Each structure stands twice: as structure tokens, then as C-alpha cells.
Amino acid sequence: MKNVFLKSALALAVFAGLFTSCSSDDNNGPTSTFVVTPEDFRGNINDGEVVLNANTVYTLTGPLVVNDGATLTIPAGTVIEATGGTAAYIAVAQGGKIFVNGTASNPVVMTSGLATPAAGNWGGLVICGKAPINTVSGGASTAQSEVAGLTYGGSIANDNSGSVRYLVIEYAGAAFSSTKEFNGASLFGVGSGTTFEYVQALNGADDGFEFFGGTVNTSNLVSFGNQDDQFDWTEGWSGTNNNWYGKISFGQGNRGIEADNYEFGFANTPVSNPTINNITLVGAGPNASSQSYAENQAMKLRRGTRASFTNVVLADWATGIDIEHNETLANIPGSLSLTTVLFTNITTKSKGKDTAGATVSVTNAFTEGAATGAGNGAGIPTWAQGWTNGLN
């Protein structure tokens, strides 16, 4: 009996050793051939799952691309520090998946690796899905992302690129030129099967969040101190969203929201038509101005976009709502609406002009009311406290 027991124990030990060798070790999942080098973190993940280690700081030195059929999993508390300007970014290609598993007490942080961090130190997060875009009217087209050069778009509205929760993206937005720049998070044709919630974009050189078509839904987004727009959409995006908080830091930024249907086809379909419930946009004051703060507008709605906003707080802007172009004006009242809007310290609540530049009234696009916005009026909402950085 003793010999049988020893043989059984030996067999069990061998089996356990084999199982461990095939499981996630410091970084890699069971089937990935990708080799992680934390001090030089970059490359193409082409297969299997790569699982990072929360106890390791990863230095992103170049593009990290999660390709079709591969998965990148980032556990709570992981820190990724990027250097390299436009050459350093994290991108998820069509068919790839990313799982950012941060928590309220232990978010994932993607930030600058420089001793003195600044906006534009690195690219940012790029996700490319297979949901419809309208660069060709009709919604069956694909395109190449302006950053990372990946294909996006298609006909799978519920496409799934993974799950992103409790993530802080700092000092992103590196620019190739004045018209080609990364954002904190760039979502290209991302589908509604993707989870995207509790994400902050902080101190970026361009937009905090930009949606290029797709159907992805979001909740609990914080955009603070980004040097262009805090939120931006185009190319037929139509997600449902809850709890957005955007704030400009003094002398930085353009608008709270810049919204288009499509720049080169104002009537292209599918038409941009997001639903946004509970939103606060805070400016730097109605008289604030600088070279990078030229517009001083809470919302610019133009180029044929539709949208439904409810429970809106707009505070400390020169202009609250600015609506442009015939295709956009044709959506009001109706498919472009703002319900229960609270204006606080706003010089001009609303203004509009048609495609020819003639001034028109747009007061029928909104109704005023006692809004709470993202949860605390112009103040930082409770749900944004604890896991975010830099808010004041």
C-alpha cells in the first residue's frame, strides 16, 4: 500500500508540474507565443492570451497590438508607463480582445514614463471593432484608423472587443500633425458587445474620448484637462451612455463635446445618434481664453449629428449649446434634443447657424430644468471619487 501511495503522489506531482507549465506564469497565458519583456513592452500579440502581472511595471516603448484571435488581460493595479510619443500605443485590432480588470480601489493606470510627464508623451488606447460606420453611406464600409493604421467598421453591431473597467489613461494624445493625433481612448467601430465603463482620460494633448462610428455603450466616463475636446464623436456612432463628467482645466481645451455625423457626408447613414443620460460639462469660466482654448463651448453639435441628452449640467462656459448646419438643424425638435438642462455661469445659453452661416434660433432643441448631471451638479460625482486622478 505504501508503494502505491508513493507512486500516486509522484504521478500527481508530475501532473501538477505539467499543468503549471501550461498556465499563466509571470505574464503569458496558456497558448500565447508572445514573449513579454516588461522593460521593453511592445510587439504583436498574435495568438492566445497574454496576462500581465499587477506587481510588475511595464514600460511601453513602441506599439503593442492585440491581433485577431488574441487576448490581452490586464489585472487590477497594473501600471503601464509609456515613452516614445506617436510610436508608443496600445491597439486592439478587429477580432482581438482586451480585458482591463481594474477595480474602484485598484484601477489600471496607463501613463507617461517620463520623469516630468506632459500631454502627448505617448499615443493612447486604440480599439478597432466590426460595428457599422458611415464613411460610405449605408453602413457596410470599412476604413483605416487615422492612428495605428488598423481596419475598422463592418456590419456586426454587437461585435465584442472585450471589457474595459476602472482604467486611468494619462498624458496621451501624441500628434503626427495638427490633423492627425491620438486621443486618450480612440474607439473605432467598436460594437455593443464591448464593455467600456469607469474610464478616465486625463491631461491628454487632444480629445479625451473619441468615437468613430460603432455602437459601443459606455458609462461613468471622466474626461479632465484634455487639450482639445473632452468627448468627441463622428462617423455614425450610436451608443447609449450614462454618467459622463467632463472638465476643462484653465487655459487648456476647446469644448466639452464636439459632435459630427460625418465631416465629408453630413447626411451619411447610419447617422450619429447617441443617447447620453446624466452629463456634466464644466469649463474654465465664460471669460477664459488662450490659444488652445479658442472656442469656450460646452457643446458643438454639427454636420448632421443627432443625439438625445437628458439631465444635463453645463457650467462656466462662454457658450452652452452651439448647433450648426442644415442637416443638424433639421433634427430639431425631435431626434436632436436636450431635456432638463441646467445652465450655470453661461454667457450665451445657445446659438445656431445654418450651412450658409445665417444665425438661427435653436431654443427648441432644449428644455431647462433642475438637473443634477453626472450626480453632483458641477461638482465631482461620488462615483468618480477614489479611483480617478487629478480632479479638483
| 210 contacts 230 by C-beta, under 8 angstroms | no
pLDDT per position as a tens digit, 88-116: 999 999 999 999 999 999 999 999 999 99
Among residues 212, 58, 210, the alpha carbon closest in space to that of 133 is found at 212
| 365 contacts 338 by C-beta, under 8 angstroms | yes
Ranges in the chain, pLDDT < 50: 1-26, 291
| 51 contacts 25 by C-beta, under 8 angstroms | no
Backbone conformation region of residue 298, classed left if phi is above 0, alpha if psi is from -120 to 50, else beta: alpha
Q: Beta partners for 125? A: 90, 185
pTM: predicted TM-score of the whole model, two decimal places:
0.92
| 169 contacts 203 by C-beta, under 8 angstroms | no
pLDDT for position 295: 80
pLDDT for position 280: 98
Q: How far is CA 285 from CA 56, 94, 222, in A?
A: 42, 41, 19
* CA distance linking residue 250 with residue 225, whole number of Å: 8
| 132 contacts 157 by C-beta, under 8 angstroms | yes
What's the residue count for the chain?
392
pLDDT for position 250: 64
Question: What does the block give as the cell for 180?
Answer: 492627425
Give, in words, the CATH class of 41-381: mainly beta
Domain positions in the chain:
41-381
pLDDT per position as a tens digit, 131-154: 999 999 999 899 999 999 999 999
